[in-house]
Structure 1
Amino acid sequence: MQDAIIQVENLTKIYKLYDSPVARFKESLDPIRRKYHHDFYALKNVTFDVKKGESIGIIGKNGSGKSTLLKILTGVLTPTSGKVSVGGKISALLELGAGFNPELSGIENIYFNGMLMGYTREEMDERLDDILAFADISEFVLQPVKTYSSGMFVRLAFAVAVNVDPDILIIDEALSVGDALFQQRCIARIRAMRESGLTLLFVSHTPDVIRALCDTAIWLEGGCIKIIKEAVKVSNAYQHEIFLENNRLKSGQYLHKDSSCNMQKLDAAIVEKASKNITTSESIHIHHVNVINNSGELVDELCHGEDFEIEVQLSSGIYIPSLSVGILIKDRLGIDLTGESNFNKFRKGIALEYGQVATVSFRSKMLLSGGQTYTIALSLNSVSRWDRGDNILLYRDDAAAAFKVIADMDRPLWFKFYQEFGVHIDVE
């Protein structure tokens, strides 16, 4: 790909694992070079390209190869085989502490990092005020970073990373330890940098962040690329795989001996269907998911401020002693906005006998921003404990229905959701 700023081809990283230090010693001295180790593939034949200005999310379980990939891209590690080509200046936030000397003060580490990236002291002098203003750690910047809390460290590291004019910004889950307000500032800054042409590689275990910041996502599993597609599809698929795994762990807790969830394993074909019916049970039948306006009509458009309901009708081929029916409204990026379930509302589930039909209606006032289309995700769970420790996912559809909200021109909104407030004014 000619316009790619990052090219990765057949990238492989192998670690030699020994059962004991003695085995390592024996291998080093063996005259006929017998192997006393086994190979562990941290990455295996990974291939992808990143265009200039593109934002790539990387998702996967611990040990899937995410951090290894980023370390190779930044030159911290060398690959066992394969090719990596990077066509721009990289600024990276890897694991906590990477690139910082704990004995040096915050100020000294700012200059130290700038030197590692090829900047002169004079060039870092020009950026110092912006870095200190963004980090906002006051007099602690004069103290050794070994005395910093994890949150203070991330503040300084992120402030340095975004103020050195990188072509490529790489972040490895570092923002998860910051406070909420600082995380919001970081995300706003990343979005602004993306608009100016920044290329982003972002590792996170939080699907919402991947959906919000990334165009494309790579799902790594066992050192290999399992899926590489649109960020919404991949993050939804990953989230449902986690649900499935939790169900498999809890499968022995299901209360009826004839119940059979028959959970379907994810594959690329299912993901290609816009993540619909990723998680399903042959024993559950969804009759409809309807959007109904205040006149009782089935619609696909609602006016802002209008009373409406979402009606879900289903039947079951098994006995479910405590069923939770939940809806989740998402924006066009797949970001969760609001939702409800009968279990959350009443703290108890629905006892559904074999063959019974259940209709669950969720009624509210439409307070979402107009001029946009929203999707309704539907999930059915067997759950009886309020802490959801016995939760088993039976069915999930991330695009069960969709609707558009027509804007109220007398009250335009510049935010996603209108929360009605009482307003008191006192002028003296």
Structure 2
Amino acid sequence: MSSEIAIRANNISKCYHVYHKPNERLKQLIMPRLHRMVGRPAKHYFSEFWALSDVSFEIRKGETVGIVGRNGSGKSTLLQIICGTLNPTSGSLSTRGRIAALLELGSGFNPEFTGRENVYMNGALLGMSAKEVDARYEDIIAFADIGDFVEQPVKTYSSGMVVRLAFAVAINADPEILVVDEALSVGDELFQRKCFARIEAIKKTGATILFVSHSGGTVVELCDRAILMDKGEKLAVGTPKHIVALYQKLLYASEDARAEVRAAIKAGTLQTKTGRDGVKSDLPAPEKTVSSESQAFLDPSLVPTSTVIYEPQGVEISDPHVRTAAGNRVNNLVRGEVYQYCYQAAFSVATERVRFGMLIKTITGVELGGASGTAAGQAGLDFAPEDLVEVRIEFRCVLNPGTYFFNAGIMGIVNGTDTYLHRIVDAAMFRVQPVQNSVANGIVDFEPTFHLINEQASNE
């Protein structure tokens, strides 16, 4: 992360004029001038609403910062000022680098234009030249995955297609500053994973990311720092876990206690006591639709579209999938059951000290866990050209209901250096089915057992 400042906000304030009757707009346009002409003090026919009040912060180049807060806290207004679509009433803002904004996705599209025409128009709005759009056009269309509809007027698109096309344009603009406002909830699970994978790649290039979300878990997973906003004010800045804990304390406070909690947060005196290292889980409770005796099965449509295949170095991975103990291919798993993650490894050169690996991740890219090794447990095995190995990695599904991804990797020695021989990111995906009457929450099921002891009764 660079010490160079990418975004600097200095006492940003934004005031809106609120008119309670339609004719008050006309009065405000005419009457103050008349009053001044006759020497009387001007009268205002509006009330002021301050969406932002003296907000200041700095974000360094390469930093990912989350902004959290209740509805109406000024988050979206702040992002619009940063993107240049709104001007502040007072204060100053400076940015360094091309900005791509994922705000009201598709709102700038012309419904009469085709998807192709809107891609070029939207790209121009993001500061891309026609040549730059030409160079990225195929990637944009592949990412949006709307097929032949790209040549049809946007007015014939579904809302999901419009959002996906707009997201694809913005995400392929090679931004130096990426501004995201609740845009990662668009599309289905497959498209969401593509979005997160692309944002991960942008982050690795050193881009600055400003991220707004009501999902505390996502902010903790993606961000280096977080800012808590409320009623147009910046209440606190700190680590994502701490800020999300403060946000949830404020969010769930009663009406009577909210002002006191807000004041304590602003003064830096509020103490948080929450589970999971300061973060209350915001994952929905499992749906009570599938019994624990349900069977794992294969859904042919559950295939990752965010797969990244690295260049093989003497060995190539193929056919990654999950099997039951009986050998049946599945991708809808039952929590608590044992499965095998399998793939084939075809060697084309002699290779030394080879280990086989796997990794499980969430939709947002959080690495939940994995392993690397060999069947015999040695530091590594040697293979000859034309060797073909079927890798089976047995694991017990301890994950709560949700959608997850597998990586596959093979490590070994190349020119005396231990490195990846082949690697596939998002090689396979699977879903853990909902379980009836579950007491577990979060991501991992630790199989808690509750024991309640009535102390008073035992003393009698």
**TM-score of the aligned structures, taking structure 1 as reference length:** 0.61
Superposed CA deviations along residues 60-82 of structure 1, whole A, max 9, x for unmatched, are 12211111111111111111110
Percent identity among equivalent residues? 43
How many residues align? The count is 297
Query: How far apart are residue 270 of structure 1 and its match?
Result: 9.7
Deviation for aligned residue 1:276: 3.9
- Identify if the C-alpha distance between structure 1 residues 407 and 155 changes in structure 2 by more than 3 Å, giving closer, same or farther: closer
Equivalent position of 1:281 in the other structure: none
Cα root mean square deviation, aligned: 4.0
| Residue from 116, 139, 146 that aligns with 2:148 | 139
How far, CA to CA, are the matches of 2:284 and 2:92 in structure 1? 46
Given that 1:211 and 1:333 are in contact with CA atoms closer than 8 Å, whether structure 2 keeps it comes out as no
Partner Cα distance (2:259, 2:371) in 1: 40
How many Å separate the matches in 2 of 1:203 and 1:262? 22
Q: Which residue of 1 aligns with 2:23?
A: 22
In structure 2, relative to structure 1, the CA distance for the partners of 1:241 and 1:408 (3 Å cut) is: farther
Aligned equivalent of 1:419: 397
The 2-side partners of 1:338 and 1:41 are apart by 33
Distance 2:175 2:25 in 1: 41
- Whether 1:265 aligns to 2:261 is yes
Change (3 A) 1:206 1:162: same
1: CA distance between counterparts of 2:169 and 2:370? 43
> CA contact under 8 A between 2:217 and 2:281: conserved in structure 1?
yes
Task: Give the equivalent residue in structure 1 for 2:8.
Answer: 7
Structure 1 residues 118 and 192: CA distance shift in structure 2, 3 A: closer
Counterpart contact for 1:212–1:335, Cα < 8 Å: no
- 1:188 aligns to 2:189 (yes or no): no
Q: Which runs of 5+ in 1 are unaligned?
A: 250-260, 279-327, 342-363, 366-404, 422-428
- Please give the residue correspondences for 1:239-278 in structure 2 after superposition, counting only pairs within 5 Å: 239-245=248-254, 265=261, 267-268=264-265, 276-277=272-273
1:70 aligns with 2:66: no
- The aligned amino acid for 2:100 is S
What is the 5 A alignment of 1:104-115?
104-115=113-124
* Moved beyond 4 Å, runs of 4+: 261-264, 269-273, 332-341, 405-412
In structure 2, the partner of 1:148 is: 157
Runs (5+) with no aligned partner, structure 2: 36-41, 287-335, 338-368, 378-392, 400-460
The answer on whether the counterparts of 2:184 and 2:192 sit within 8 Å (CA) in structure 1 is yes
Rg larger for: 2
Deviation at 1:140, TM superposition (A): 1.6
Q: 1:45 aligns with which of 37, 44, 54?
A: 54
Secondary structure at 2:87's aligned position in 1?
coil
Amino acid at match of 2:84: G
Cα displacement (A) at 1:338: 9.8
CA distance in 2, matches of 1:269, 1:220: 10
Report the secondary structure of 2:56's partner residue. strand
Alignment of 1:76-95 (within 5 A): 76-95=85-104
What secondary structure, in the 3-state scheme, does the structure 2 residue paired with 1:265 have?
helix
* Mapped partners of 2:198, 2:269: distance in 1: 32
Q: Quote the residue 1:310 is aligned against.
A: none
Which stretch has the larger CA shift, 10-19 or 184-193?
184-193
Q: Secondary structure at the match of 2:113?
A: coil
Deviation at 1:147, TM superposition (A): 2.7
Q: Distance in 1 between matches of 2:209 and 2:75?
A: 14
Partner of 1:391: none
Deviation per CA, 1:187-242: give whole Å up to 9, x if none: 12111211110110111111111111111111111111111111111112212322
Residue 213 of structure 2 is aligned to residue 204 of structure 1: yes
The alpha-carbon distance between structure 1 residues 193 and 406, as it changes in their structure 2 partners (threshold 3 A), is closer
CA offsets, 1:336-386, max 9 Å, x none? Answer: 599999xxxxxxxxxxxxxxxxxxxxxx99xxxxxxxxxxxxxxxxxxxxx
1:227-264, CA deviations, whole angstroms, 9 ceiling, x for partnerless residues? 1111111112212322334xx59xxxxxxxxxxx9998
Tell me, in whole angstroms, the C-alpha distance in 2 between the residues paired with 1:420 and 1:59. Answer: 30
Matched, 1:127 2:136: yes
